[in-house]
Amino acid sequence: MVATVATQVAQARALGVGSNVALGTKISQARTLAVYNFPTAATKISQAASKGVVTLNVNTKVSQARVLAVVRGRVYNPKLRAWSFNLDGHQFYVLRLAEDKTLIYDMNTQQWSWWSSDGEDHWTVNLGFNWRTAGANPKLYGSNIIVGDDSFGLLWALAPEQPYDENAFDGVAKSFVRVAEAFQITRGRGPGLPVYEVYLTASGGAPASVSTGVTLSYSDDVGHSYVTAGSIPVTTGDYTQEFAWRSLGQVPAPGRIYRIQDDGAFARIDGLDIMNGATAQ
């Protein structure tokens, strides 16, 4: 280990574990056959060949570099996959459309949904199934559903009551957004239907997290842009709380899309009622 203010070496060759701690390092040629570390403010190397694990600093300039190392990252997977699982008496059919989307079909309610991981359009879970012998899995994790992650090579247990996803990369738990949409159809060339009030009926009173709120947005151009009608915080223990948005203008033809977003406000949404003589579908 060398702890210096600056290091200048014409040629460097490391055959073991080494460390160079300096404010500035300049090396014309460097060759490492083992683990080596350059934690410096700036490193300039004209030629570098690495056959081991090498860690350089943030500001590194290399004119020629040859690296033979193991690199971990995500591999493009163009395959279509289909699998299923049972949860809370519902049978779900999963369609993984390669790197595009992951569509979930509830065979009991006959409804489709779109699941995705943070920063991706698809769910990074590749395959899964219900563990034949549940054992203590439902008690510990909430279900006996075991799924495989194709980004980190890990096995996960689905926990339906957990309000967040565990991040395998940095270990930070992050809440995920739930989105539900409804469409109201209008016809003709008139000014449209007035929207006096919009009421949301859902299982309130028990949000998954303290800071959870529910937001209503709507689009009058078939989903190309949305206007936010506001967010309503969910009060824990208030099981009769009203979720209403008022004076939302008029709905022109061909109709309006209503979007409900929350990060754990409800376990169930029953419906959206629009006070203009119509019901959103």
In a shared domain, residues 192 and 155: no
**Is pLDDT at 122 greater than 80 in this prediction?**
yes
Same domain, 8 and 90: no
Q: Please indicate, yes or no, whether residues 242 and 204 belong to a single structural domain of this protein.
A: yes
- On the question of pLDDT at 54 being above 80, the answer is no
* pLDDT on residue 51: 56
Residue 73 lies in a domain: no
Three-state SS at 275:
coil
Give the tens place of pLDDT for each residue, 232-247: 999 889 999 999 999 9
Q: Read off the CATH number of the domain in which 202 is found.
A: 2.60.120.260
Parallel, antiparallel, or unpaired for β 174-175 and 250-251? unpaired
At 192 the pLDDT is 81
- What are the start-end ranges of the H helices in the chain? 137-141
Tell me the average pLDDT across 225-233.
Answer: 94
Residue 67, pLDDT score: 61
Residue 173 lies in a domain: no
Q: What is the mean pLDDT of the chain?
A: 78
* 267 and 184 assigned to the same domain: yes
User: Tokens standing for 193?
Assistant: 């239907």
Q: Is 255 found in the same domain as 222? A: yes
DSSP E strands, 51-177 = 54-56, 60-67, 80-87, 90-97, 101-106, 111-115, 125-130, 145-149, 154-157, 164-165, 174-175
Whether 117 shows a pLDDT value over 60: the answer reads: yes
Q: 146-184 in b/e burial notation, b at 16+ Cβ within 10 A? A: bbebbbeeeebbbbeeeeebeeeeeeeeebeebeeebeb
Q: Let me know whether 271 and 190 are in one domain.
A: yes
Residue 10 lies in domain: 2-67
* Structure confidence by residue, pLDDT tens digits, 249-271: 999 989 999 999 998 888 888 88
189 and 274 assigned to the same domain? yes
C-alpha–C-alpha distance, residues 97 and 118, integer Å: 17
Q: How many domains does the chain have?
A: 3
Same domain? 7 vs 89: no
Co-location of 183 and 271 in the same domain: yes
Give the span between the Cα atoms of 148 and 236, in whole angstroms: 34
Looking at per-residue pLDDT, the higher value among 114 and 41 belongs to 114
Residues 183 and 207 in one domain: yes
In a domain, 171, yes or no: no
For 65-112, write each residue's pLDDT tens digit. 666 666 555 667 778 899 999 988 899 999 999 888 999 999 999 999
Within a domain: 75: no
